[in-house]
Chain A
Amino acid sequence: QSVLTQAPSASGTLGQRVTISCSGSSSNIESNFVCWYHHLPGTAPKVLIYRNTQRPSGVPDRFSGSKSGTSASLAISGLRSEDEGDYYCAAWEDSLSGWVFGGGTKLTVL
């Protein structure tokens, strides 16, 4: 059972906008920054969003992050086939003095 809760799966068609949600609590998401990672099996995970809303250089502006209270969201617009894979949210957990990840959302592009 992950500390951060994500839906196990999501899907969308090419060009569509999808949103992936991450639910936490006052000791993680509400009081700390959220980041989002994209992971394809057999490869190294890649950061998409850090500090709630910031995009590293090289990440397309189709990806955007937001946070409100104890929840955070990752939005992907103009869905492309290469967006398939697993998406994870992460945040620092004050009560554990450590990082926690969501269980991951597997995105399928139809």
Chain B
Amino acid sequence: EVQLVQSGGGLVKPGGSLRLSCAASGFSFNTYSMHWVRQAPGKGLEWVSSISTGSNYLYYAASVKGRFTISRDNVNDLLFLQMSSLRDDDTAIYFCARAGGTIFGVAHNWFDPWGQGTLVTVSS
């Protein structure tokens, strides 16, 4: 069974840092691009970042570029999102997601499946 299990959320002060993890199982992790998507309270889904299979290509939303870093460990089947200089408006549920297909690049893919989500709260 394909599974994405997330960890690492929590409460952090503005300006602080946090690292989210997403443990993958049930599929060949190194053959799929991976993604992070978030949902702020009362808001819609917002794409955050994507990473290609070999980490050669990294993509970020303008709202997080320079503050967040996406990475992956293809040996241990792990996806990470290192978040720094956190702001109040980064408060959201963060979802990791796998690409739906292996033969398509990041831009021509889709998100399937998604992790269970982890809450990040930025507040003093």
Contacts and interface: CB of A to CB of B under 8 A. Distances in A.
Contacts of B117: 44
Contacts of B106: 92
* Among A39, A44, A104: residue with most chain B CB under 10 A: A44
A44 B95 contact: yes
Interface of A: 2, 32-33, 35, 37, 39, 44-47, 50-51, 56, 86, 88, 90, 92, 96-104
B59 interface: yes
B110 A104 contact: no
Contacts of B111: 35, 37, 45, 47, 90
A45 B44 CA distance: 11
B75 interface: no
B88 interface: no
Q: What 10 A-B pairs are tightest by C-beta distance, nearest first? A: A99-B47, A50-B110, A44-B114, A104-B44, A92-B107, A35-B110, A47-B112, A101-B45, A103-B44, A88-B45
Nearest to B95: A44
Interface of B: prevailing SS: strand
Interface of B: 35, 37, 44-47, 50, 59-62, 95, 100, 106-108, 110-117
Nearest to A44: B114
Nearest to A31: B107
A96 B110 contact: no
Given A44-B95, A88-B45, 11 more contacts: A32-B107, A37-B111, A44-B113, A44-B116, A44-B117, A45-B45, A51-B108, A56-B112, A88-B44, A99-B37, A99-B50
B45 A96 contact: no
B100 A56 contact: yes
A35 B112 CA distance: 11
Contacts of A56: 100, 112
18 contacts: A2-B44, A33-B110, A35-B110, A37-B45, A37-B111, A45-B114, A46-B114, A47-B111, A86-B44, A88-B45, A92-B108, A96-B61, A98-B50, A98-B60, A98-B61, A100-B47, A101-B37, A104-B45
